[in-house]
Chain A
């Protein structure tokens, strides 16, 4: 690793989405000067070609699922409008350690809007809802200004003509609940109800907001769209380190010298992320573990340092890239405490409509708190292990799975630490 020149490696950290030319805030004039609107112009010519390009680019859902974007797009495109079609831009970002979408929304709002409008054209959606975490005041303000600039420009007319009906762009602050980021929960909120996740099927592509075909994509996913349209799928694929394609915004936090958002080729190794871009661990302590943030957090250990951080490589390790959040824990930090905190977060975030999740997360949190405060017994630990086998896939959404996966992963790597904390 020492052979890597620190400076030149850092120069590559902002490739596409966070290129300095893009980070201009809500400034339409400057955005168009630097090539903004090109993708839209191209999409207007041939909307169907956009989908093909996205498929070839192998763009994945960057909000944590890693689901191929084109499959959702094609499903929605195949549906007839009833009478509308919706695109929900998911900016509910609330996962621990994730802070990339807020940066995109705040500093590159036009990039996000263009991506959404191009996607809307490609699938024939006439309603675009920007669904954003209400606590992100600066992101909301930037988006509000940027959308105002769109409405007074010629771009919506251009898109509406291509679409054949008026394109409506709407900014909607979310509910402030973590669960509101789940795709069907967000639709409930758009319809004006508490964000309870819905059962599937029907899938949003068939029946989403108000029963209309609905596509929901993460902010980062859509921000990539204009660049793929302009530069082509081959260019995008080449950005990543195979099998990854494109770039990824990694949110690095925890005990590192330089925490922050880094845009790196998809598939960059954990070692490079932490030791080159993150400047290494704080106070020179050894690395203990990394929590990958997102809907289903897992733990990486020093043994995983050379694993490529892309969806497929991590999945084969039994882990998950999630939102690309990497929370670095140095030696000397108690795993039990951290896991207890996460489970408390999950218990706090459970919407409560599925009994197994409501009671399961609360019970796990309570048992972990007992172990963490030194009151736990071997029976408590056994109960937790039992819950890990009983609870998965017992809820409508993935929250319960995320809660279990984290605990399971912590047991797998640090079982001794849990046992030592017992009374």
Chain B
């Protein structure tokens, strides 16, 4: 069996007008997923030994971080400046900004701390759009059903219905903030249908919906007088009360001067996003540089229950070539617009609008069975047949996907002439912290919103729900976090860290790994290291 068709040979063979054959019947989705999806890889899942999820399955690399030693000790807190604030939001993406805005609207003094710069997030990379049941033939109920079905019925129905109900109002709120959406000639919001949806429900702003969303949220946050923003200030630990049962603040560091800062607060909202940069199972990732799963580590250490830790979303169409764009996404919107996936042999192999995990598994099957296109030992992929789409819809790529066109143009590739080489890329963490409809975790005083929270997408997210989730739950948590009007923390401690250390010691686990990672090991300046 050949290990894939060399790039040059495949390019020579490629014709945009060639017959691609009929779509083979997809008989058994479960078998396909079990055989090829990375979540099911042998050895990729272990059982957690300590903490709130002891006994649950967890992705192997993640488990090492969850059951790790903290970076800081009591000694490091000596002489640390203390800031008192009502609500601390950790994370400067869409969810964090939405939460900060709502909390500030409710009269709280808010501190938003972000690892890199405000808006450095995966929100800006969300290209496809945001789901909301606004079409006449659509309903909240259908949105709920699609989300639950797409997530293989693992999601929490209460959370899903809360999010779906918020959909139209979220759009209204975003428009009031100044966000632009694509419109039909009559002035209605333009919708698209995407993978896993039963009807058109995807509202979008060309192919940079998330970027546009972040633009308005960022401006609103900067302008709000009750929100203070600390950039380049990653959180390295949460703080608990004297019993270690309640979250009462966080320890932040600074990438600029390495100075630790204690923030004492009534509520902490974690909006730290995902963990693509841990490169689970060695996959490339579409995530931004700061997505190192810090939020999960911090939440788990303070005792929050997590869920679906063995379930990650691999986006089917991450670019393989050119190498500096490796892992970067080609939005699902391109497939939603009618672009097909074909093998190196020029055959279609899967319904492109199946849920992402199915499409992803199908691509991995083609690659492993030698029908992919190979560049070198590392890189292999299948064609995303953009020239064929361009032939049937001339000008569509240029009009609807300017972001993709710009990015490929500077690399010397023209998707209108040349198909794009794609391979699944680590995209999204389906699980996360267990939350209720207000975004509250199982630890009092700690909220989690956005990708770091779990339970909404089940074991597979469908397109457009992430942007909805961050605003919906961001706003809910922002409001709920201000409801706590107690006297504030008497004492801030690292008792929860000691609790985990005790558990690790008693379980005989090594305490060599330290977490959170803050930055990937290969990042400029290296890992944050004291």
Contacts and interface: CB of A to CB of B under 8 A. Distances in A.
Contacts of B501: 282-283
B139 to A, nearest CB: 43
Interface in B498-515: 498, 501-502, 505-506, 511
Interface string B486-530: 000011000000100110011000010000000000000000000
B242 interface: yes
A332 B75 contact: yes
A17 to B, nearest CB: 22
A282 B75 contact: no
Main secondary structure of the interface of A (DSSP, over half): loop
A333 interface: yes
A341 interface: yes
B28 interface: no
Contact of B81 (A254, A255, A345, A373): A373
Contacts of A337: 74, 77-79
A118 B501 CA distance: 44
A282 B490 CA distance: 24
Contact of B78 (A255, A258, A282, A334): A334
A257 B79 contact: no
A336 B242 CA distance: 17
Nearest to A176: B487
A334 B75 contact: yes
Nearest to B497: A282
B74 A332 contact: yes
B491 A283 contact: no
B381 to A, nearest CB: 47
Contacts of B498: 254-255, 282
Contacts of A358: none
Contacts of B77: 334, 337
A372 interface: yes
B411 interface: no
Contacts of B325: none
A247 to B, nearest CB: 24
Interface in B57-108: 73-75, 77-82
Contacts of A373: 79-82
Contacts of A97: 242
Contacts of B80: 373
Contacts of A283: 501, 505, 511
A277 to B, nearest CB: 14
Nearest to A333: B74
A77 B282 CA distance: 79
B79 A345 contact: no
A374 B75 CA distance: 14
B81 A282 contact: no
A126 B164 CA distance: 62
A348 B487 CA distance: 11
A374 B74 contact: no
Contacts of B491: 96, 341, 344-345
A373 B83 CA distance: 12
A421 B511 contact: no
B513 to A, nearest CB: 15
A164 B75 CA distance: 61
Nearest to B80: A373
A254 B74 CA distance: 11
Interface string A302-346: 000000000000000000000000000000111011000100110
B511 to A, nearest CB: 7
Contact of A333 (B75, B81, B502): B75
A257 B502 contact: yes
Contacts of A345: 490-491
Nearest to B499: A259
A255 B491 CA distance: 16
Contacts of A372: 78-79
B242 A96 contact: yes
A410 to B, nearest CB: 14
A259 B80 CA distance: 27
A96 B495 CA distance: 13
Interface centre among A97, A334, A374, A421 (most CB of B within 10 A): A334
Contacts of A334: 74-75, 77-79
Interface in A331-383: 332-334, 336-337, 341, 344-345, 348, 372-374
A184 B267 CA distance: 36
A259 B506 CA distance: 13
B444 to A, nearest CB: 13
Interface centre among B73, B80, B82, B498 (most CB of A within 10 A): B498
A334 B76 CA distance: 8
Contacts of B490: 345, 348
B79 A258 contact: no
A420 to B, nearest CB: 10
A348 B489 CA distance: 11
B79 A282 contact: no
Contacts of B75: 332-334
Contact of B73 (A332, A344, A421): A332
A374 B259 CA distance: 13
Contacts of A336: 78
A186 B403 CA distance: 70
B505 A421 contact: no
A101 B78 CA distance: 32
26 contacts: A96-B491, A254-B498, A255-B498, A257-B502, A257-B505, A258-B502, A282-B501, A282-B502, A282-B505, A283-B511, A332-B74, A333-B73, A333-B74, A333-B75, A334-B74, A334-B77, A337-B74, A337-B77, A341-B491, A344-B491, A345-B490, A345-B491, A348-B490, A372-B78, A373-B81, A421-B79
Given A96-B242, A334-B74, A373-B81, 19 more contacts: A97-B242, A254-B498, A257-B502, A257-B505, A258-B502, A282-B498, A282-B501, A283-B505, A332-B73, A334-B75, A334-B78, A334-B79, A337-B77, A337-B79, A344-B491, A345-B490, A372-B79, A373-B79, A373-B82
A-B complex: 3 closest residue pairs judged by Cβ atoms: A334-B78, A332-B75, A333-B74
Interface of A: 96-97, 254-255, 257-259, 282-283, 332-334, 336-337, 341, 344-345, 348, 372-374, 421
